[in-house]
Structure 1
């Protein structure tokens, strides 16, 4: 096997695994082949290899595949060792106590962003998020908080690639979203109402690493009915403080008011 063909094969295997983080828990050969533009024969060979190593499992009745125990172990180890999650723990608890709503931590990942931690609201009616699942950056306050502070070239690539609607409120117009992202950079935080999940509201601010690159976002989220303009206004300073403290714990030297990009 040549280096080039080996790299191509490895890339296809990774692409197959990443599909399981994007949506439904179970996938079939035909859908994977269609999504990735591969032949069914190639997809079947990849899946057989993954099954043999416990990365995916096959339901013999439905003939659908899902992530297996080896993938779960790798994911658990990655979450445990992720610096962002470790340094944010105390700050997330403080933010949840201040707001009483669910608090989440998002990490920038290839192709989007993923929730890596949450502390659930003390309210009887509350919102929870799915850890580890990949979401696009244009939908929801956490995604927009990250997108706004990406390098301009990368941000424009994402805007130009298309903005699929996850709900009826998802931003799908690139020009309007571009203007909103300008406002996010000015204020340091993003808000959303039903953009990723129809009945949810949220407020988020970006988290930066040692080199000044955006690493993810911290957010407060809950039922849309509670996220009034007044609540968003009152909540934003707490979210900005939390994002600042997590960024500093990661080594970012920015100023206190600098939820803005360095």
Structure 2
């Protein structure tokens, strides 16, 4: 099979980056070229591209390269999401047993949020979500509870931007959404009826990290026909409890630094 030029180039770039994971902290052009069997000219071009994007940086005195801030940011993001998913398994399973509906875990990502895990409902008619796909924060309970607890400057920035309609139930009016977010902060959880996906209902609560900032959300979702006000009322305490437990596992403390979270209701006994 013939390797496409673009694929070969991408592979070389990745190979260069991977050398920084198990080699010396600072690498030179000649050393990289020897390790990968590439010419110095090719290695130099790759490194210049990576420098331009902040993936590596050049020490002007030693003329050696080290990992840059962009790589650090990517690694931190991957670690945060991995930690969130890794600690969530038992809590999600418990919430699934309590509700018998689809349980999801969402992470805050640049430009919105993404589902990173789910346990599908035991009902014959059920809802599933697409893992890894980015969704806006203003549509659906998982996004709204993230938006409600974001730092105010970031929240206002999102509210001032275009609030596109994913369904005919999506809240697209800034003031209406602002009122909804205030209610979510008071309640400690969000609910939705067909706002992100038509005919789907959901309840979600925010998950906080060690620094007190919102990191993600946990939700229960399913057909709107089953998400009656009575079911939402009965389900919400379990969702809040699950989110509280995940936050605690991530090191969050109600009296710790970061955004105030005193409005979160206490979990049921």
CA RMSD in angstroms, aligned pairs only: 2.4
**Max radius of gyration: which structure?**
2
Aligned counterparts of 1:112 and 1:123: Cα–Cα separation in 2 = 29
Query: Cα offset for 1:260?
Result: 3.2
Aligned counterparts of 2:217 and 2:82: Cα–Cα separation in 1 = 14
Does the Cα contact within 8 Å between 2:81 and 2:107 map onto a contact in 1?
no
Secondary structure (helix, strand or coil) at the match of 2:170 reads coil
User: Once the two structures are superposed, what CA deviation does each residue of 1:147-178 show, in whole Å capped at 9, x if it has no partner?
Assistant: 00001110000000110000000010000000
Q: Which residue of 2 aligns with 1:117?
A: 117
Cα separation, partners in 2 of 1:259 and 1:119, compared to 1, 3 Å: farther
Q: Which residue of 2 aligns with 1:155?
A: 155
* Regions of 4+ moved over 6 Å: none
Structure 1: which 5+ runs fail to align?
1-47, 55-73
User: Once the two structures are superposed, what CA deviation does each residue of 1:118-174 show, in whole Å capped at 9, x if it has no partner?
Assistant: 000000000000000000000000000100000111000000011000000001000
| TM-score, reference length from structure 2 | 0.67
Secondary structure (helix, strand or coil) at the match of 1:122 reads coil
| TM-score, reference length from structure 1 | 0.69
Alignment pair present for 1:260 and 2:217: no
Aligned counterparts of 1:147 and 1:114: Cα–Cα separation in 2 = 13
Superposition map of 1:91-170 within 5 A: 91-170=91-170
The count of residues paired between Structure 1 and Structure 2 equals 192
Q: Which residue of 2 aligns with 1:29?
A: none
Cα separation, partners in 2 of 1:51 and 1:240, compared to 1, 3 Å: farther
Query: Cα offset for 1:254?
Result: 1.6
Cα separation, partners in 2 of 1:201 and 1:195, compared to 1, 3 Å: same
Does the Cα contact within 8 Å between 2:186 and 2:263 map onto a contact in 1?
no
Superposition map of 1:56-71 within 5 A: none
Q: Which residue of 2 aligns with 1:186?
A: 186
Structure 2: which 5+ runs fail to align?
12-73, 256-260
